[in-house]
Amino acid sequence: MNRKQACRMFWSSFLISSALWIIICFILFAVFGCAHNPYLKTDSNQHARQCVLPVMVGISEGMPEELVDATRRAIQYWNTVDSRKYFVSLGVQPWGADDPMSGGFVPIQLVPAESLWDLGLATCGNASMIIRNASGCIRRAKIKIADKCTGSIEVFETIVRHELGHVLGLKDNYLDWNAVMSAVAAEGIQEHPVDANPQELKALRELYGP
């Protein structure tokens, strides 16, 4: 091997190893850099959470009976995921989600689908909250569910569970389509309501203690 060949060999192996490292870095970034963070955060990067448990939840008048039952089940579901009592159901209440009188509890109201828009897309549910920036305490919350998303009771119950997950401080999941906090409901999960996945349960333990 003369000098020229050695030089060429050095540079080609240098380029190949650099390319390999760039590929490895991309893979590591894809795995760890984009991993789902399950927490809702305030502007000051605090984890948002309920500072007083259990949270009172009411169902706004006007919801058909079978949906009221499914909503009650969704509220109770969160009380079964660990040893904590997260919610107390106040049953059906005469006040809508935007009524100032509903300030003492988290109202869950069925609303026309056209009134629920998120990022320019019609959505099935929405939880809006007032979160104290300094403490991360969620002060008020209200939940609206689109009337078009009531075709399947199981899916409806999953949507209510999902919105209540936000009220506890969990964020939308864009990576796992089978999580209760999944931003989009996966096809084929309509036989039963979706449960919280291990990451979501771990996040609750981190927020509310073991």
Residues near Zn ion (CB under 5 A): 172
Q: How far is the CB of 117 from Zn ion (least distance, A)?
A: 14
113/133 Cα distance (integer angstroms): 31
- When the beta carbons of 67 and 180 are compared against Zn ion, the nearer one is 180
**For strand 55-60 and strand 117-118, is the pairing parallel, antiparallel, or unpaired?**
unpaired
Residue with the shortest CB distance to Zn ion: 172
Q: How far is the CB of 83 from Zn ion (least distance, A)?
A: 25
Other C-beta atoms lying within 10 Å of the C-beta of residue 125: 22
- When the beta carbons of 172 and 195 are compared against Zn ion, the nearer one is 172
- When the beta carbons of 172 and 206 are compared against Zn ion, the nearer one is 172
- When the beta carbons of 99 and 172 are compared against Zn ion, the nearer one is 172
Other C-beta atoms lying within 10 Å of the C-beta of residue 94: 11
What φ, ψ does residue 109 adopt, rounded to 5°? -125, 140
Question: Is the separation of the CB atoms in 92 and 58 below 8 Å?
Answer: yes
Q: How far is the CB of 74 from Zn ion (least distance, A)?
A: 14
Q: Give the contacts of 134 (CB within 8 A, at least 6 positions apart).
A: 44, 46
Tokens of 81: 């995921």
- When the beta carbons of 93 and 108 are compared against Zn ion, the nearer one is 108
Q: How far is the CB of 22 from Zn ion (least distance, A)?
A: 35
Q: How far is the CB of 107 from Zn ion (least distance, A)?
A: 17
**For strand 125-131 and strand 121-122, is the pairing parallel, antiparallel, or unpaired?**
unpaired
- When the beta carbons of 72 and 162 are compared against Zn ion, the nearer one is 162
Q: How far is the CB of 172 from Zn ion (least distance, A)?
A: 4
Q: Give the contacts of 94 (CB within 8 A, at least 6 positions apart).
A: 61
